[in-house]
Amino acid sequence: MVTFHCARFPEGVVHIRTDLGVAVTFHDGVAEVGDPEVAAALLRVPAEFGVTRVAAVVDAVPDGAIRDVMAWVDGDRARAARALEVELARGDRARTTLIRALEAMTRDT
């Protein structure tokens, strides 16, 4: 899996046609591509689209249900802080229930 970032269109969904005739959909400026030919084609997209390859993140915060994020955090304060940062970056789509739970885990006692 190769992750790409689209700087020009960081929000919403952007369909970029590759020379293979495949539409790559970016969500919040990010797309994950499993096909090596499509990934190679994305690297040839004109510069004005601002598409770049993102270095692999080995231990990324899951992008899913609250229960998935909390299972990944598993009581680890550092992971809770990372998950909170990711959730806050969602802006208007941030989930307040998750934010409250993560803030409680990261507070100094």
The pLDDT of residue 20 = 63
Asked, for residue 11, whether it belongs to a domain, the answer is: yes
Asked, for residue 61, whether it belongs to a domain, the answer is: no
Asked, for residue 95, whether it belongs to a domain, the answer is: yes
Q: Is residue 50 exposed (0-12), middle (13-18) or buried (19+ Cβ within 10 Å)? A: middle
Asked, for residue 59, whether it belongs to a domain, the answer is: no
Residues 47 and 78 occupy one common structural domain: no
Residues 11 and 45 occupy one common structural domain: yes
If the chain, 109 residues long, is cut into consecutive pieces of 10 residues, what is the mean pLDDT of each piece?
76 60 77 80 78 71 90 90 89 94 86
CA–CA distance, 45 with 73 (Å, rounded to integer): 36
CA–CA distance, 82 with 74 (Å, rounded to integer): 12
Residues 94 and 70 occupy one common structural domain: yes
The pLDDT of residue 56 = 58
How many distinct structural domains can be found in the chain?
A: 2
The pLDDT of residue 11 = 61
What range does the domain containing 23 cover?
Answer: 2-54
The pLDDT of residue 61 = 86
The pLDDT of residue 58 = 58
Residues 49 and 70 occupy one common structural domain: no
